Amino acid sequence: MKTSFDVIVIGAGVMGASIAAALVESGLDVALMEKGIGGGQGATRDTGGIVRGLELDPALRPLTRRDAHHGRTGIVHALFERSLKQTGVAYIASAEVCGLYLDAVGIEGTQNVELHASVKALDNGRFSAFCKDECLLIERNGGTVDARAAVSDLCRYISEKAIFLDHLAVDRCVELEGYVQVHAGKLRLDATWVVDASGADGPLPRPHGAVHARTIPFTRMGCDHAPSMPIIAHSLNTYLLPLGRNLMQVGGQRRHHAEHASQLNLSVMDNEQDVIERVARLGFGPQHSLAVVTQVAWDAYTDDGRPLIGRSSSGSHVYLATGFCGIGFKMAPSVAELLAFELSGLMAGVQLDADHRSIMKPFCPSRFTEVALS
Ligand SMILES: Cc1cc2nc3c(=O)[nH]c(=O)nc-3n(C[C@H](O)[C@H](O)[C@H](O)COP(=O)(O)OP(=O)(O)OC[C@H]3O[C@@H](n4cnc5c(N)ncnc54)[C@H](O)[C@@H]3O)c2cc1C
């Protein structure tokens, strides 16, 4: 069996699968390793799959772009677009917050965004009585991607063109002169670069205090009429995601933090009650909705709300791609494209251009303390 690669990607959540596919497409020799099944374990298993560009932090904008960073869009963007249901995404928020969203997109991003002074334009005015002082933004080209379809397409592409090893956990990595040894059960593989895309619970050390695990509870609710598009209800700090005509998913807010996902308290706590109270404030009171099931998922978080993308310490051949803070699904195609560009450049000995460096700077893991692998 082949044991030496340009890049080994650890973790086949949406991020690892996207990065591996983009690396394969750029001509690198890649292995993707997953302890379970692709998209079936970590945050990706439970993702809402909402894809939207509007973000309050302008640094995140390049990661939520739907078009190419470097020339044409690649396989990952194409597979995402194929699985996208373009319903639009609605934001119900104060005039001030809507203004901040619009400022963050800048002039070039506003073609797809409609601003309404009231929420009447959404679903025949059904929210009007409940959100009297709120405005409405509709991002017309947003929607939801079928996460299972997208990740399984990515994993199939990697299996066909490179190596995808599932049901095999990476135990540890050892950094040697210019390459990394990856140990997984009986296997020992070598790679010039390793990408740690193992979410909130990976096998490798990360900069101390840089990333932690946080629960993301959600409740599925039967309802008389699900909203016509996903709704981000800003002042209620929740989202409503239509799953069918009479079913929606709503985000809960009772969170638990821990260093690793395996240490999280995954009990439902009082999340269901919390969700019931939140949706009642949007007009889905007990006569219009019924909580069916509440689950607790998780993701990897950072304290500044920005992911960790880049070398785990200067000179290291381990790249981190984690800490996606509950919004990593929509970022996966751009993160994959940017990392593929960077790693192919490094393999070819090409200097990274200033534009690329400035996009990536806010995500550099060295903003936290550095670590040594071994
Ligand atoms: C309920 C919920 C709703 C969400 N809704 C949205 C949304 O609407 N829009 C959006 O943009 N984002 C959303 N997110 C966030 C988004 O889903 C995550 O940010 C994204 O899925 C993170 O992907 P990932 O690949 O980094 O991590 P993960 O999906 O956690 O993948 C990590 C992978 O690494 C593997 N792994 C771990 N350790 C090892 C090891 N030792 N060896 C090999 N493999 C290993 C795991 O098994 C796992 O498959 C949501 C998240 C949740 C939980």
Query: Which of 324-327's residues contact partners 24+ apart within 8 Å by CB, and which partners?
Result: 324/15, 324/43, 324/299, 324/300, 325/299, 325/300, 325/301, 326/43, 326/214, 326/216, 326/299, 326/301, 327/55, 327/60
- The rounded percent of the chain whose pLDDT value lies above 70 is 98
Q: Which residue has the higher pLDDT, 162 or 108?
A: 162
Considering only 45-59, 94-108, 264-278, which range has the smallest mean pLDDT? 94-108
pLDDT category at 156 given cuts 50, 70, 90 is very high
**Is the pLDDT reported for residue 66 higher than 90?**
no
The rounded mean pLDDT for the chain is: 94
Query: Looking at residues 199-211, what average pLDDT do you find?
Result: 92
Listed in sequence order, the residues at least 6 apart from 368 whose beta carbon sits closer than 8 Å to its beta carbon are 207, 208, 209, 210, 302, 308
Residue 106: its pLDDT value, please?
A: 74
**Is the pLDDT reported for residue 154 higher than 90?**
yes
Domains 4-79+146-209+304-367 and 90-141+211-301 share a fold: no
Class of the 90-141+211-301 domain? alpha beta
Residue-wise pLDDT tens digits, 295-341: 999 999 999 999 999 999 989 999 999 999 999 999 999 999 999 99
CATH 3.40.50.460 fits 4-79+146-209+304-367, yes or no: no
Residue-wise pLDDT tens digits, 167-190: 999 999 999 999 999 999 999 999
Residue boundaries of the structural domains of the chain: 4-79+146-209+304-367, 90-141+211-301
Ligand 1 atom at minimal distance to the Cα of residue 198: 34
Mutate to test the pocket of ligand 1, among 46, 47, 335 (most ligand atoms within 8 A of CB): 47
Residue 370 DSSP code: -
- The rounded percent of the chain whose pLDDT value lies above 90 is 87
Considering only 228-242, 260-274, 277-291, 357-371, which range has the smallest mean pLDDT? 357-371
Pocket of ligand 1 (CB under 6 A): 10-16, 33-36, 41-44, 46-50, 169-170, 197-199, 201-203, 216, 218, 297, 299, 322, 324, 326-330
| Strand 187-196 versus strand 318-322 pairing type | parallel
**Are 222 and 289 contacting, i.e. CB atoms less than 8 angstroms apart?**
yes
Residue 233: its pLDDT value, please?
A: 96
Residue-wise pLDDT tens digits, 79-115: 999 999 999 999 999 999 999 998 887 766 677 899 9
Residue 371: its pLDDT value, please?
A: 58
Ligand 1 atom at minimal distance to the Cα of residue 37: 49
